[in-house]
Chains A and B, each alone.
Chain A
Amino acid sequence: MIRANSPILLEVRGLRANVAGVEILKGIDITVRAGEVHAIMGRNGSGKSTLAKALAGHPAYEVTSGTAVFEGRNVLEMAPEDRARAGLFLGFQYPVEIAGLSNAAFLRLAYNTVQGIRGQEELDPLEFDDHVRAKMKLLEMDAGFLERSVNDGFSGGEKKRNEILQMALLEPRLAILDETDSGLDIDALRVVAAGVNRLLTPQNAVVLVTHYQRMLNYIVPDYVHVMEGGRIVKTGGKDLAVELEARGYDWVTGEVAA
């Protein structure tokens, strides 16, 4: 929900970034306030995922200029783990499989690390088990998820649920969800979207990076940004997403070119 006077969580100005020496982001400006839902849309290759990864600190994404201030701190100077601890969360488009590491151990380690840094109570395995099971219920995940290796052999939908479960556990101030809708069937999409909605509060914010409008039927954005060629070329309200769905991206990029 838009609240003009609510505090700014993230302010990105003139962000440029390279991947393997090629400039992908060519000057991004975006402001996200507490309580807001933003959608970043665009064609494949427009730079959406690069923006998400650059903000989360992926080492392969080299920021060449610009600033990204998250709750008063320049996150571009912070290690990825420090960004996470500060309350920035990236939901991965392709969650990584880690055979040999149990999901339960991984989730608890991540949870306790962040809790410890925030000066909050860490949980022992039994306490954590109760805690995580309650969160899993929201995402209609069965307990078997805990015993399996992290994302190892998970279906596309299971991986995305596991991402949102991590978001639910880490309680970030700002979650950037990169193509969380891809690979989800309609039922899974509904469950995941409901999970995200339940996590939204006036104090936090979500940036949805997506190619399609369909997830935005469930998580209604306050702002829709359209990216093209490494820039945000149009910003509007939720109706913009509907229009994009009906008219395609050519319409926006054509308008910009004209």
Chain B
Amino acid sequence: MNTTVAGAPHPYITALLGGCEPAREKLAWLAERRAAALERANALTVPTTRDEEWRFTDITPLTRVPLRAAVPGPRPQAGDIERFAVAEAGIRLTFVDGAFAPELSEYAQLPHGVVVASLAAGLGSHGALIERHLARHARFEQDVFAALNTAHLRDGALIWVAKNGRCPAPIHVLHLATQDGVATYPRCLVVAEAGAELTLIEDYASLAPGPYLTDAVAEIAVGERARVRHVRLQREAGAAFHIAACAVALSRDGSYSSHAVTLGARISRHNLSVRQEGEGAEARLEGLTLISGRQLADTHTALEHGRPNGRSRQLHKCVVGGAAHAVFSGKIMVAPGAQLTNSAQESRNLLLSDKAHVDTKPQLEIFADDVKCAHGATVGQLEAEPLFYLRSRGLPEQGARNLLTYAFAAEIVDRIPVPSLVTQLRESVLAETGSAE
């Protein structure tokens, strides 16, 4: 993904690695992985638009912001984070500037066979489990931000559901930024054993205006016949930078659905990589990017059908107002032998102003011959007929525009498997569309 530099490490990376001491873990395997990541972070450089994977996304503004490692600051009170609460989620892990905040978390009452804890605590009790997965799925060899995150790996969220176990309530992992001028490295590991079921809400929110950097990595292992629903909310501050990788590994007949909503940050990048490692796995990827002003939001997905009989459905929508810029790159790979793969990808984009901009790039790499792969992309503005229809019923022009924009986004929002989030997002979409011009 990034070019390797010979010789001196990139000064910006060096700065971000300041405060990241060489690994002194008691656990050899973890020390090893962190050291490997540190080595890669030093060897890789900051991506530029000359890198194919970053050609639409210029992160120069990020490299101009001096960032220091986050140190514990005053913790927010429960009242400060009330507005981020998700009604259905009885279980919540809260991280403040990357550090676990047990007093803002709820994880005392867990169903049988469910572990929700901080990674640091989990290493003691579930070390072998963590060793099998942590920094195994999210590859950092060619990704400087994943390498940085892994080099800084201290803590994070651990979610584990035992074989055939179910966690009926969604699990909310809230990453809260409260300090400007810092870089934080949120981490999340989710393991659903065979036949297990869970719903994760991975949430990035802020109490600080920015700029700050969130460099996040999530890893999700979906066991045989397991089912994971993953809601991802990126509602960072307007001046924030958010760069995240999520790696999902699906075993035989496993099912994974992603509902990723991108609202915040000045510049954001979300790399979602889903690998079907077992036969008959199913992935459903839904994404909504809703940005305005001078925001840039980039979603890169890579879906790898590695085994036969895999299915995938992907729908990504961008609503772009102001002078904002959205990027969607969706790669579908069908490995040799992954016969009877059935895959469909759709990218639909709505531009709300003349200065709004979208780059959409479907990529299909198919090495099996008996497969069904469909893809399509559209970019357009609000159509005249629906607009006139609504106005002819008395709705003001701007209101009609907002409503149509809302309707465009609703297809993604309404399918989020957490009703209170649907309601909350509907409202914020309406509010956002009202101010998107």
Interface residues of A, Cβ cutoff 8 Å to B: 56-60, 79-81, 83-85, 89-90, 92, 95-96, 98-101, 106, 109-110, 113-114, 117, 149, 166, 170
Q: Is B414 touching A100 in the complex (CB atoms < 8 A)? A: yes
Report the 7 A-B pairs with minimum CB-CB distance, sorted nearest first: A100-B407, A100-B410, A110-B393, A101-B407, A96-B389, A84-B394, A80-B391
Interface membership of B386, Cβ < 8 A: yes
Q: Which residues of B contact A149 (CB under 8 A)?
A: 407
Q: Please name 28 pairs of A and B residues whose Cβ atoms are closer than 8 Å in the assembled complex, sorted by A.
A: A56-B392, A58-B388, A59-B384, A59-B388, A60-B384, A79-B391, A79-B397, A80-B388, A80-B391, A81-B393, A81-B400, A92-B392, A96-B386, A98-B386, A98-B404, A99-B407, A99-B411, A100-B406, A100-B408, A100-B409, A100-B411, A100-B414, A101-B403, A101-B407, A106-B390, A106-B403, A110-B393, A114-B394
Main secondary structure on B side of the interface with A: helix
Q: Which residues of B contact A109 (CB under 8 A)?
A: 395, 399, 403
Most chain B CB inside 10 Å of its own CB: which residue of A56, A83, A84: A84
Q: Which of B389, B394, B400 contacts A117 (CB 8 A)?
A: B394
Q: Is B397 touching A81 in the complex (CB atoms < 8 A)? A: yes
Interface membership of B18, Cβ < 8 A: no
**Which range holds the interface residue count of chain B?**
20 to 34
Q: Which residues of B contact A95 (CB under 8 A)?
A: 389
Chain B 408-426 near chain A by CB (<8 Å), digits 1 or 0: 1111001000000000000
Residues of B128-178 at the interface with A, using a CB-CB cut-off of 8 Å, are: none
Q: Is A84 touching B406 in the complex (CB atoms < 8 A)? A: no
Interface residues of B, Cβ cutoff 8 Å to A: 384-386, 388-397, 399-400, 403-404, 406-411, 414
Q: Is B392 touching A80 in the complex (CB atoms < 8 A)? A: yes
Q: Which of A90, A98, A100 contacts B392 (CB 8 A)?
A: A90
CA distance in complex: A50, B52 (Å): 51
CB distance from B327 to the nearest CB of A (A): 23
Q: Which of B392, B399, B404, B407 contacts A84 (CB 8 A)?
A: B392
CA distance in complex: A60, B408 (Å): 23
Which residue of chain A is the closest to B411 with respect to CB atoms? A100
Q: Is B410 touching A81 in the complex (CB atoms < 8 A)? A: no
Q: Is A84 touching B391 in the complex (CB atoms < 8 A)? A: yes
Q: Is A166 touching B403 in the complex (CB atoms < 8 A)? A: no
Q: Which residues of B contact A170 (CB under 8 A)?
A: 393-394
Q: Which residues of A contact B406 (CB under 8 A)?
A: 100-101
Q: Which residues of A contact B408 (CB under 8 A)?
A: 100
CA distance in complex: A200, B177 (Å): 61
CA distance in complex: A149, B329 (Å): 30
